[in-house]
Amino acid sequence: MPEDILINFTPQETRVAVMYQGAAQELHIERSSSRGLVGNVYVGRIVRVLPGMQSAFIDVGLDRTAFLHVADIWESRQQGEPTRPIERMLFEGQSIVVQVLKDPLGTKGARLSTQISVAGRMLVYLPQEKHIGISQRIERESDREALREKITRLVPADEAGGFIVRTMAENASEAELANDIAYLRKLWRDLQIMAKTAAPPALLYQELSLSQRVLRDFVNPETASIVIDSRENFQKLTAFAAEYTPMVAPLLNHYIGQRPLFDLHGVEDEIQKALARRVELKSGGYLIIDQTEAMTTIDVNTGGFVGVRNFDDTIFKTNLEAAQTIARQLRLRNLGGIIIIDFIDMENEEHKSSVLGEFNKALARDHTRLTVNGFTALGLVEMTRKRTRESLAHVLCEECPTCQGRGEVKTARTVCYEILRELLREARQFEAREFRVLGSVSVIDIFLDEESHGLAMLSDFIGKPISVQAEPSYVQEQYDIVLM
């Protein structure tokens, strides 16, 4: 089935939707104020070396110091040499050239590597390696061998650096490959010159914008069209494609309709659904997706679905549909890290095998590296999905100021009892003529009705009048006690 890519431009952000069979499969958002950092090369200064963690914190000019583990230091990965402790390779105050592997996530800083790679149209240049690799998506062994021979002819044996051949190079001529090699070598030479003169922290190389990366990275043999809703950016991308990705240029289309592009294809609705905790299944079942710092959990429920045969059949059909939906939601929400899936319990081993097979089949379209384990003794499916950028929820949402991210708030009655205890504490600590309670409307209503007797008893006990005042702007857990 063909795949379409939609690109929506506004001055503030660029949004990309990858569509398959009329439904959004992936969403990528890049804001002008906070572009992604993966692929950027910096010259940084080592702030701290931690031998116990075999890691170092490096200032590259970001809000938080970035993180470098010993496993990501190129010198420690050379074959034939034992890995040296990080404290013998790095020292505080040292300048170092690093590349971002992962964007900052939550409270964690960016993850770095000293092994630099620079991506071109058809090749990825590895200046510190002497290796030729071929993309796994080029499956035919004859094509892989032909490409390896072409690169070997074009790269002299005495020249440093290795290459990874990208999928787009599958039908490339030697002239096109030679141009890409020359471009990447020049880019690396320029970067080295800048690294010698720049004072850390400094940015040496910035990865392409999201729209340019779409042309370089997202396009595959199944891509039928790339639809762009901005004339100015359509012209810019057409010029970029003509120079760097000529095979992609015929796929570019300028959308001139009156209706917003994402509305026309239902992407805006999909974004709203992807932010919800509950995902409805067509059969009547539903998923509950909870994303936490440690892991993501997905619970499958039958809901209102009633099978036509028996209960086992109902469960099996719900789990099959859930397997397809979960695979899509992982890509759509860009969920990463540890993921635990609680399918509805199945007694039949064939049903379990079929659900797991359907799940792996649905995940096959996901280009992110992942691993899936079978059902555990508790009937759970454990999997991991590589996390390289923030999830959709973390990009578009922030912690709720009312519940502080808990997902629930204290009841009005609970807050009332807290206020009564706080009044008693303050009466013993401070001398006041009167105490006035400012609270939300729901809390004050309880004090004026059901808890009026309790408030009067406390007033008699402390020997001071207590008055209450509703503040419409207060959330339910918010209150103040004013000493008069």
Residues 189 and 61 in one domain: yes
Q: Which domain holds residue 52?
A: 41-205
pLDDT value, residue 365: 85
Q: Which of 385, 357, 354, 361 shows the shortest CA–CA distance to 371?
A: 385
**Does 126 fall in a domain?**
yes
pLDDT value, residue 326: 96
Q: What's the total number of domains in the chain?
A: 4
Residues 299 and 344 in one domain: yes
Contact 287, 329 (CB under 8 A): yes
8-state DSSP, 343: P
58: Cα separation from own chain's centroid: 22
CA distance 76 to 70: 7
Residues 199 and 245 in one domain: no
The CATH code of the domain that includes 214 is 3.30.420.60
The CATH code of the domain that includes 56 is 2.40.50.140
Contact 370, 363 (CB under 8 A): yes
Q: Which of 199, 237, 201, 230 shows the shortest CA–CA distance to 216?
A: 237
Q: What share of the chain is helix, strand, coil (3-state, %, to 5)?
A: 35, 25, 40
Residues of the chain falling short of pLDDT 70? 76-82, 304-309
CA distance 435 to 388: 53
CA distance 484 to 471: 18
pLDDT value, residue 442: 95
User: What six digits make up the tokens of 208?
Assistant: 């392409």
**Where does a domain end: 169, 187, 205?**
205
Residues 27 and 49 in one domain: no
Residues 353 and 444 in one domain: no
The CATH code of the domain that includes 426 is 3.40.1260.20
CA angle 473, 404, 269 (to 5 degrees): 85
CA angle 289, 292, 297 (to 5 degrees): 35
**Does 438 fall in a domain?**
yes
277 — phi, psi (to 5°)?
Answer: -75, -30
Q: Which of 367, 370, 399, 392 shows the shortest CA–CA distance to 382?
A: 370
Residues 88 and 172 in one domain: yes
- Residue 20 burial (10 A CB sphere; 0-12, 13-18, 19+): middle
Size of the chain in residues: 484
Q: Residues 221-273: pLDDT tens digits?
A: 789 999 999 999 999 999 988 887 788 899 999 999 999 999 999 999 999 99
pLDDT value, residue 444: 95
Residues 326 and 437 in one domain: no
**Does 383 fall in a domain?**
no
Residues 228 and 161 in one domain: no
Contact 225, 5 (CB under 8 A): yes
Residue 138 contacts by C-beta under 8 Å, 6 or more apart in sequence? 144, 147, 165, 167, 170
**Does 84 fall in a domain?**
yes
**Does 378 fall in a domain?**
no
Contact 28, 16 (CB under 8 A): yes
The model's pTM = 0.75
- Residue 310 burial (10 A CB sphere; 0-12, 13-18, 19+): exposed
**Where does a domain end: 190, 205, 220?**
205
**Where does a domain end: 205, 240, 260?**
205
Count of other CB atoms within 10 angstroms of residue 348:
12
- Residue 423 burial (10 A CB sphere; 0-12, 13-18, 19+): buried
Contact 222, 1 (CB under 8 A): yes
User: What six digits make up the tokens of 297?
Assistant: 């959990």
**Does 279 fall in a domain?**
yes
Contact 210, 14 (CB under 8 A): yes
Ranges of beta strands (E only) in 114-214 are 118-119, 123-126, 132-134, 162-165, 202-205
CA distance 110 to 99: 10
Residues 61 and 81 in one domain: yes
Residues 136 and 53 in one domain: yes
Residues 58 and 185 in one domain: yes
**Does 394 fall in a domain?**
no
Residues 106 and 245 in one domain: no
Q: Tell me the residue type at 193.
A: I
pLDDT value, residue 77: 60
Peptide bond into 2 cis (omega under 30): no
Q: Residues 6-34: pLDDT tens digits?
A: 999 999 999 999 999 889 999 999 988 77
pLDDT value, residue 129: 84
